[in-house]
Chains A and B, each alone.
Chain A
Amino acid sequence: MTSTPPPRPPVRSALRDAAVAAFALWLVLFTAFVRHRNHELADRERARAQAAAAAVAAGEAPLHATSALGVVLPAEPDPRHPFLARRAVVDAAGTRALGGAEAPAADKLLYDAAARFDREGPFVGLLTDGSGRAVAAIATPRGPAIAVTAPPGSPAGLPWLMMIGLLGLGAALVTAGALSGRGALGVGAGLAVLVVPAWMWGGVALAAVAGGVAAAVAVAHGRGATERLAAGLIAHRVALSFLTPAAVAMAVLVLVPFLVGLVIGFYDHQHGTWTFVGLDNFARILSGDGRAFDDPLNFWFILGVTVLWTGANVLFHVVIGTTLALALRQPWLRARGLFRVLLIVPWAIPNYITALIWKGMFQGEYGAINSLLEGVGVGGVSWFSSWATAFAANVATNTWLGFPFMMVVALGALESIPRDLYEAAEVDGASAWQRLTQITLPHLRPALAPAVILGSIWTFNMFNVIYLVSGGKPGGSTDILVTDAYRWAFERGERYGMAAALGTIIFLILLLWTVFGTRVTRRTEEAP
């Protein structure tokens, strides 16, 4: 149905390409401008506060307007509460006490700055109240000289004239290029004018990015790539408009958090401070953090536990699920629908509720399982005191949770096996065992293979069971990678960087596993 669109005039398409790229670059430049301006403003306010404090220390009047200033005398701690210190300030009007329920707000700035001076020594910084004011304290023999700047006026606006001029110049260059038959060169030159503000506000790095974008768009334009893209967008505009809502939702809900997670992995977070550390987090994790291999906090130990955990669970899920599916197909079975519903129930109950119930059943003195064991004369087991029993408790819980899924998949696959295969086999005298191994299982494999991949990914990341049943006991040795990532984020001083790096590693492991699994599945499906 789609017909090739008529060729567009070269000027129009060159201008369009330059405009789209310039708009994107302009958004980046605007952010860079705001950052640059705020930094400059903050630097200026800090310098003013510093100068004013120096003036106070020298007994002179400051050059710029201030909110508060004075020399704060040493604190007299309250005898009962050392953190309640009385302070007094000396300023042009004389000496007066600071503090009290009715004291003016400006005095509080002096008081808090003096307290911070006592802790940290001389400092200069912005107030945390969002007013944009700066405060500085410098030492004098009598006590800290403190100055708080007056609120700064409104910050500089975007230099509109300059931006419009540059964009106009860019448009002229693009037009000239297109008219002279060198459209790509014109687009590149027209965009390259934005390198100047990029360099002014974002430094060399941003200028290089802007230059790179200009070159890339020019090359793409020269090769006709943008023309093909535009034609494609126009030809499929109806389909694209249907896809857009879902694509936006995916981007906001999946892609953005995913990218943020990736980036956070390169940072270290401690007590509200983020520091870029490059690959340190990954190095720390992959090197086992200097711990022995049998230390439950070593990444490779945890990875081993996770793989073992996943393997054991998926094995049980497949074996039990398939066996039950086969049993449900037996002609002698009565009330088949009832059994089918009952066997799906574990799947229908929220898994954290199931996990909590199983945890209760594994409880040492009063748990149902130990009561049963004691009933048959076997002593109770302290399930969470040793690795093997705690691991077994986790696996038992997750097996209970996971087999119905495999059973449902297997039931569906069994329905699709043609009856006449069995009839033909029976005619040929095949035994029940031969029918199972030669007909049923080979036909189940294509349906089960993707289910196994999916199930293994779920199990690999089965946070609820590990966290709620064993909770990593004993000593964190039954933790898997996701629960360890949780502990980095929430139980070890909010090391979000380590948690995010671990998340990235988990993602890469599962990505490899999925690629591998998909290959195997495809081969299974292709096999005769």
Chain B
Amino acid sequence: MTAALSRSRPAARAAALAAALALAACGRAGDDAVTLWHAYSGDERAALEDEAARWNRDHPERTVRLVAVPYDAFADKITSAIPNGNGPDLFVYSHDRVGDWVASGLLEPIEFWIDGDTAATWADDALAAMAYRGSLWGLPLAVKSLALYVRTDLVAAALTTTDELFAMAPGLRARGVFPLSYPVDDLYGHAAWLHGFGGQTLDADGRAAIATPEAVAAAAFARELVVREVVPRDADVALTATLFNEGKAAMAMSGPWFQGDIAGGVPWTVTTLPVVSATGRPAAPFLGAEGVLMSARARDKDAAIAVMLALAGDDAAGRRARRARQVVPNPRAYDGDLAADPVLDAFRRQLDASVAMPAVPLMRAVWTPYKNALGSVVSGASRPADALDRVASEIRTYEAP
């Protein structure tokens, strides 16, 4: 009997330990700090940590605690943690998931706290990107769109129209150089031309508007870019960086993150995308706004909105732009050296010709069919109108009945 008992004791101890661990994992931290989840790394993380430290110094009574969560798992963790009461009070994410989270009741509408004067802090488009179904769900911290990276040793004059792009192809191709590189079958890059041709992906009511004459013209344009060897046929993001660095692509369409991929010694600058000659409208890439959002389960909402306003405010935005080179949507933050920064300036100007990526959940079902269609158009396997008709009919089957 004693032997049996002593044998069972380690097991009992292990069980008790496991139970204690489970309890500790379930229990919430007892303090009143506002918890903020983010997926930043590198300079962006450092800049955010600086802001949090500054806030905590000024507001010791209601501090903010940062939790870094890996980007891959971020959206899923938010989706599952908030309804169970284990989620953060605030979190940083791009605006295109807002529609999903609003539909699931995870987000707190914040327009109650924001009046017209406060709203003037941010560029209209950036703030509008955080709105969905007539309410405001977050404050924008940074905006991301594509712009045109140019190798100044290969392209002398600034590119203003797409006709010039085609015109420079023969000369550059003779030297083995593509005028432009970007993932030609990916809707994210293609959207610049799509909007430049007057097309769209979803209409104002959030319904798919795929097989329109404008979209057909834009797809035919993409095919033309490949046929006339303006862009390489199947360049992905990594190959675009390689071609640009090796001087085999004179220009690259990419976002602020591309700066880190450019090799030292490459002479480059950033400018806005050209005007689509066929329509006279500027190519307009998707605008992604990264914002700080409030959980519907936030414990102290007054403290949470105060933290949000501080993080997205002009002072913090100026510091984040300097430290992390974020393109902040705060027009008043650009003073002194920031106003003179050519890269930030180019991305800011590109914002004027950009289209906020739809936050409607349906948008997430558009990417893959559209990519397939662009692939088959570019390779010549399908006519643009047929390919886009297929996209439209495929998306219809994914729409809620």
Which residues of A line the B interface, CB within 8 A? 78, 80-86, 98-101, 103, 105, 107-108, 111-112, 115, 118-119, 128-130, 241, 270-273, 289, 297, 363-366, 382, 384-386, 472-476, 487, 491-495
Contact = CB atoms under 8 A, between A and B. Distances in A.
B302 interface: yes
Given A98-B112, A99-B112, A491 B368 contact: yes
A118 B111 CA distance: 14
Interface in B85-141: 85, 99-100, 103-106, 109, 111-116, 118-119, 124, 127-128, 131, 133-136
27 contacts: A80-B116, A80-B124, A81-B124, A81-B127, A82-B134, A84-B114, A84-B115, A84-B136, A86-B115, A99-B115, A100-B115, A101-B305, A107-B112, A112-B112, A115-B135, A119-B134, A128-B297, A129-B298, A272-B79, A272-B103, A363-B234, A365-B232, A473-B375, A474-B379, A491-B367, A492-B398, A493-B362
Interface string B288-318: 0000000011100110011001000000000
A256 B306 CA distance: 43
Nearest to B298: A129
Contact of B100 (A271, A386, A491): A271
A271 B359 CA distance: 12
Contact of A85 (B111, B372, B381, B397): B111
B164 interface: no
A493 to B, nearest CB: 4
A80 B239 contact: no
A119 B99 CA distance: 15
Contacts of B114: 84
Nearest to A101: B113
Given A83-B135, A271-B361, A495-B398, A487 B113 contact: no
A100 B394 CA distance: 45
Contacts of A491: 364-365, 367-368
Contacts of A81: 116, 119, 124, 127-128, 131, 136
Contacts of B380: 385
Given A271-B400, A363-B239, A78 B119 contact: yes
B135 A382 contact: no
Interface in B265-303: 296-298, 301-302
Contacts of B112: 98-99, 103, 107-108, 111-112
B297 A83 contact: no
A271 B116 contact: no
B133 A473 contact: no
A83 B132 CA distance: 8
A443 B62 CA distance: 75
B365 A271 contact: no
Contacts of A487: 368
B372 A472 contact: yes
A81 B124 CA distance: 8
B233 interface: yes
A241 B12 CA distance: 13
Contacts of A494: 100, 364
B376 interface: yes
Interface in B355-401: 361-362, 364-365, 367-368, 372-373, 375-376, 379-381, 394, 397-398, 400
B115 A382 contact: no
B276 to A, nearest CB: 25
A98 B115 CA distance: 11
A271 B375 contact: no
A80 B109 contact: no
A150 B111 CA distance: 24
B135 A492 contact: no
A271 B103 contact: yes
A287 to B, nearest CB: 12
A108 B301 contact: yes
Closest 7 CB pairs of A and B: A272-B104, A385-B379, A83-B131, A271-B103, A128-B296, A493-B365, A475-B372
Given A81-B128, A98-B112, A473-B375, 8 more contacts: A78-B116, A78-B119, A101-B305, A271-B104, A385-B379, A475-B375, A475-B376, A493-B362
A517 B42 CA distance: 52
Contacts of A364: 232-234
Contacts of A119: 133-134
Contact of B309 (A101, A270, A365): A101
Contact of B111 (A84, A129, A297): A84
A385 B226 CA distance: 13
A101 B117 CA distance: 12
Nearest to A125: B105
A472 B373 CA distance: 12
